[in-house]
Structure 1
Amino acid sequence: MSDFVYRISVAKEWEELQRNGSTFGRELDKSSRFIHLSKLHQVRSTLDRFFLNSKDELYLLQIDPNKLGDGLVYEVVDGSNSFPHFYGPSRSFIPLPLDMVTKAEKLSLSNGRFSCSLLD
């Protein structure tokens, strides 16, 4: 498995990840007890669906799935789309460690379309 997985991160979460070396994500992640991730082809639709009206600065984090080990589980979400979710070992819900992030880029929004070099 070598294709990267991606995390859409608000600035506050990205800052926490850099400061503390890990993050449990946002409220949705904490209540779900896993970190929500996307494959590259899912990032745009996730941004459009959940982040278009966000007032937060957004970052796209590229994550090495090999480092996530068996804590990375692909699950069918809406009947057909399989999304990557990071649970941690034995579904223990550990925070996402900073050293799994291989790249981070700030997303810009122009004319209703998100962009950064990872997406373009």
Structure 2
Amino acid sequence: MGFKVAAEGAERQFTARVTAHVPVDGGTKEERFKARYRVLSTDHLENFELGSSQGTTDFLRAVIVELFELVDDNNNPVAYNDDVRDQVIIDPVARTALIRGYFDNIGRGRKGN
């Protein structure tokens, strides 16, 4: 089977498990959630200054379609919306995990494939 060339204007999306390494006394603990991303073309990626805080925020707003498995301090589910997305992407731990989740998954196949 060959590589499918996306039609002009077509959007690719994927869902990935994201692992955040949350600092705790004496180390870190892993907290996982899922993110649905849209794949941006290299031309579109050039619009984002990923070396700046605002550029990274703009990038994450552009690529995140939805976040799943989010909970509050009492482990109650948190429904996704744009405000929740913005709250998650300003958290430096989640931000790092989301960036890693995007680039790790568009750059190679999943382990075991």
Give TM class, smaller chain. Answer: under 0.3
Query: Which structure ranks higher in relative contact order (CA pairs < 8 Å, sequence separation ≥ 6)?
Result: 1
TM-score (norm 1): 0.25
Structure with the largest fraction of strand: 1
Q: Which has the larger radius of gyration?
A: 2
Tell me the TM-score normalised to structure 2 length.
0.26
